Amino acid sequence: MMTDTDITSPVMDGMGPHGTKVGLLRVLGPAHVWALGVGIVLVGEYMGWNFAVGKGGAYAALIACWFAGILYTCVAMIDSEVTSTVAAAGGQYTQAKHIVGPLMAFNVGLYLVFAYTMLEAANAITAGYLFFVVAQMSGHAGDLDQRPFIILVIMFLAWLNYRGVLATLTFNLVITAIAFVAILVLFVSTSGILGGGIMQHAALFEGHELPYGWIGVLAAMHFGLWYYLGIEGTTQAAEEVRSPARALPFGTLAGIMTLLIAATLTWYICSGVLPWEFLGDGVNGAVAPLFSTAQLAGSTGLVWLLGFGTLFATLASANGCINDASRAWFAMGRDKYLPGWFGAVHPKYRTPYRSIVFLVPIALIFALGAPLDQVITFSILSGLLEYTFMPLNIIMFRKKWPLNSIKRGYEHPFHPLPALTLLALCGITFFAVFLGYGTQLVAMIGFYIVVSLWFHFWRYRFVNRGTQFTMPWPKPQGY
Partner 1 sequence: MDLWNWLEYAAWALSALFGLYMVVDWLKTDSSYSEDVLTSSREGELEAMTEEEHRG
- Report the 10 Å Cβ neighbour count for 145: 12
Q: Among 141, 194, 202, 203, which residue sits at the site for partner 1 (rule: CB under 8 A)?
A: 141
Binding segment for partner 1 among 22-30, 38-46, 56-64, 427-435 (CB under 8 A)? 22-30
Q: Cβ of residue 25: shortest distance to partner 1, in angstroms?
A: 11
Which DSSP symbol is given to 330? H
Return the closest-CA partner of residue 237 out of 109, 89, 38, 359. 89
Strand pairing partners for 241? 28
Find, among 70, 121, 412, 431, the residue nearest to 263 by Cα: 70
- Residue from 200, 188, 198, 202 nearest 297 by CA: 198
Q: 150-189 mask for partner 1 (x: CB under 8 A)?
A: -xx--xx-xx--x---------------------------
Q: How near is the Cβ of 198 to partner 1 at its closest, in Å?
A: 33
199 belongs to the binding site for partner 1 (CB under 8 A) = no
Tell me whether residue 368 is exposed, middle or buried, using C-beta atoms within 10 angstroms of its C-beta: 0 to 12, 13 to 18, 19 or more.
middle
Whole-angstrom Cα distance, residue 195 to residue 190? 8
Distance CA(123)–CA(104), nearest Å, equals: 28
Please list every residue from 76 through 105 that binds partner 1, using CB under 8 A: 87-90, 94
Q: Which is nearer to partner 1, 359 or 384 (CB)?
A: 359
3-class DSSP assignment, residue 113: helix
Among 4, 21, 283, 414, binds partner 1 (CB under 8 A): 21
Residues 306, 184: Cα–Cα separation, whole Å: 11
Number of neighbours of residue 193 by Cβ within 10 angstroms:
10
Q: How many amino acids of this chain bind partner 1 (CB under 8 A)?
A: 55
Angstrom distance (rounded) from CA 114 to CA 104: 15
Nearest to 319 by CA among 223, 148, 179: 179
- For residue 241, the SS3 value is strand
Q: How far is the CB of 181 from partner 1 (least distance, A)?
A: 27
164 or 416, CB closer to partner 1?
164
CA dihedral over 70, 74, 80, 81, signed as positive or negative? positive
Considering beta carbons, is residue 149 or 447 the nearer one to partner 1?
A: 149
Label residues 404-418 b or e (16+ Cβ within 10 Å = b).
eeeebbbebeebeeb
Task: Determine if 70 is a binding residue for partner 1 (CB under 8 A).
Answer: no
Query: Which CB, 5 or 201, lies closer to partner 1?
Result: 5
Q: For the window 200-239, what string marks contact with partner 1 as x by the rule CB under 8 A?
A: ---------------------------------------x
Restricting to residues 99-138, which ones interact with partner 1 according to CB under 8 A?
135, 138
Report whether 397 contacts 476 (CB < 8 A).
no
Residue 300 or 470: the one with the smaller Cβ distance to partner 1 is 470
Q: What is the DSSP code (8-state) at residue 111? A: H
Rule CB under 8 A: choose which of 466, 472, 474, 478 binds partner 1: 472
Stretch that binds partner 1, among 145-153, 166-174, 274-282, 293-301 (CB under 8 A): 145-153
| DSSP secondary structure letter of residue 474 | P
Q: What share of the chain is helix, strand, coil (3-state, %, to 5)?
A: 70, 0, 30
Told to check if 347 binds partner 1 by CB under 8 A, we report: yes
- Return the number of the residue (98 or 222) whose C-beta is nearest partner 1: 98
Interface with partner 1 by CB under 8 A: which range of 66-74, 111-119, 303-311, 470-478? 470-478
Q: Other CB atoms closer than 10 Å to residue 268's CB: what's the count? A: 17
Q: Residue 416 Cβ, how far from partner 1 at the closest point, in Å?
A: 27
436 binds partner 1, rule: CB under 8 A: no
| Sites for partner 1 among residues 307-346 (CB under 8 A) | 331, 334-335, 340-341, 343-346
* Contact residue for partner 1 among 12, 103, 149, 205 (CB under 8 A): 149
Binding to partner 1 in span 366-385, by CB under 8 A: none
Site residues for partner 1, 240-279, by CB under 8 A, read 244
Query: Using CA of residue 347, residue 350, residue 355, residue 357, what is the dihedral sign?
Result: negative
Task: Figure out which of the listed residues 1, 2, 3, 19 binds partner 1, where binding follows CB under 8 A.
Answer: 19
* Residues in touch with partner 1 (CB under 8 A): 7, 14, 16-24, 26, 87-90, 94, 135, 138, 140-141, 144-145, 148-149, 151-152, 155-156, 158-159, 162, 239, 244, 331, 334-335, 340-341, 343-348, 353-354, 356-357, 360, 467-468, 470-472
